[in-house]
Amino acid sequence: MATKASPEDVRRLAALSRIEISDADLQSFAEEFDAILAYVGKLEELTLPSVSERVLPAVRNVLREDGEPHAPGVYTEKIVEQFPERDGNYLSVKQILSHD
Amino acid sequence: MTKLNELTITEAARMLRAGECTVRELWDACALVAQERSLELNAYLELFDADNVAIAAAQKRIDEEGEKAPLLCGIPLAIKDNILIEGHVASAASKMLENYTATYDATVIKKLKEAGALFVGRTNMDEFAMGSSTENSAYGTVKNPHDVSRVPGGSSGGSASAVASHGAIASLGSDTGGSIRQPAAHCGLVGLKPTYGAVSRYGAIALGSSLDQIGPFGKSVADTKALFETIYGKDPLDATTTDSSTYPVRECGEKLRIGVPRHLLTEGIDADLLEAFETTLTKFSDEGHTLVDIELPTSSYALPVYYVIMPAEASANLARYDGVRYGHTARGKDLLEDYVKSKTEGFGKETIRRILLGTFVLSSGYIDAYYRKADAARGLLTSEYDEAFKTCDVIAFPTTPSPAFKFGEKTDPVSMYLEDVFTVTANLTGMPALSVPMGTVVRAGSTLPVGMHFTAPKGAEDVLFKAGAFVTGETL
């Protein structure tokens, strides 16, 4: 697991994360990544129990019946106020499908 | 006479009921000091105007109900900036949410309002709670009131600094890997990370959803307990919340059995801090409590496990900030460019680092080696703690290996991450943990507080309070 991160790896992860990293920062991110991964890589030494021996959490799969809806529109204005762009009570976004 | 803002919750509540001070006077005392020290400490991102209606209502309730009024009625509190208060900005100290106004109250805020508590302001923190020094805030660092050349710890550094400087009577923070307990230790306060699920996270800005808990800072164990008892409980709006029947009740006798994992204390801890720890342990045994040697062999892997799980969850949680519906918005030539510009401009460096790290450990080809392995190790760690709790009531070690450090002292990420070496395990196991002041050490002429850390089985906060009160010399 002794992974080495190259500036190119960092650029690829940034693209997956929808983040842009300047060329100047790529190298330092890669170096920090190496240090972090070297530390986290200690995990490799661990021998772990099989899946069947694992303990499940006390609270899981919490479901409830739908019910008691609030009156329509009572929160609309507050939420719409946070929109960067609005068209009436609609969220205005860029066109995502092209007609070309 | 002690100044009003320097009182504990229990002292202030007594004086309010005895008519020795008014809610207005208590508010004014806290608000004034918060204002006076705001430039120097930067503990608050925003100080709220006095809520005259709430102040009058709290006074009326105390006058009418007396002892029956909630203990927190009329008490000014500081709230970490990742907890939503309707109508106020909640920025998580990020440029991303600089102009985001909370559209609803977090459940903890709703409960505090019902109890009549008042809010002095929202406190500075590491951006999205990522850090151990509050140096990652987009709005400047927070200073430690014990020595302003030092960090208050983090990520809830503002909540700790605000209370330690008496700019609030008590406060709320959040703890994902030690973010309440470590700043509590560095600022000489009591800090609690409740059992996972004990306190609702509805209205808390998420970092690592399997780790995050909201919890209190207080000047005493009694204050911390009072705040916890006001905010805890099952909440239909947070499916991870538990109730008193979820975990078996832990019976412990008058005398506690304190488990000490000696093998974790052999290196990396400052000698005088370890001495303060040993002195405190001796006080326990002198009073008839029992010290038990315990083994937690997987503990040395806890921090690597944490730095896989937490970034993985952070990268998923922070994906929601895309510039489309709320938060920082930048526009490019197409929708993809909108996302990229908004995120790149909105997030700080440590946030980006953790998003990338999380994306890496979850990516095809690495998820088994990192994320799945860490998740399994987490289970092993929990079963070791469960095993240890068969022979002891609480587990004790120092909260941090060293006292508060100077600004800029820890420049590489790994050395900063090591600040949380003792605290992360309670988040990974979901167990409740408390830091209480256990003494002081001297660094370069400054007297700095250090903390003792107790972990208890899930649902056993009361055992923690008992152990903590012994250290502080309180009678609960």
pLDDT score for A99: 74
A91 and B CB contact within 8 Å: yes
Count Cα atoms within 13 angstroms, Cβ side, for B273.
24
CA distances from A55 to B177, B273, B376, B391 (A): 22, 36, 10, 20
CA A89 to chain B, closest CA, distance in angstroms equals 12
pLDDT score for B291: 98
* Location of structure tokens 């008839």: B288
Mean pLDDT of chain A: 87
B197 and A CB contact within 8 Å: yes
* CA–CA distance, B131 with B338 (Å, rounded to integer): 28
pLDDT score for B359: 96
pLDDT score for A100: 67
Q: What pTM did the predictor assign?
A: 0.96
A83 and B CB contact within 8 Å: yes
pLDDT score for A15: 96
Closest Cβ opposite residue B324 in set A10, A29, A93:
A93
B430 and A CB contact within 8 Å: yes
Cβ separation A49–B376 shorter than 8 A:
yes
A84 and B CB contact within 8 Å: yes
Interface confidence: ipTM more than 0.90: yes
Cβ separation A36–B414 shorter than 8 A:
yes
pLDDT score for A3: 63
Cβ separation B246–A58 shorter than 8 A:
yes
Cβ separation A58–B379 shorter than 8 A:
no
| pLDDT, tens digit, 9 for 90 and up, residues B201-257 | 999 999 999 999 999 999 999 999 999 999 999 999 999 999 989 999 988 889 999
Low-confidence ranges of chain B (pLDDT < 70): 1
Cβ separation A33–B356 shorter than 8 A:
yes
| pLDDT, tens digit, 9 for 90 and up, residues B298-349 | 999 999 999 999 999 999 999 999 999 999 999 999 999 999 999 999 999 9
| pLDDT, tens digit, 9 for 90 and up, residues A33-92 | 999 999 999 998 888 876 656 677 788 888 888 888 889 999 999 999 999 999 999 999
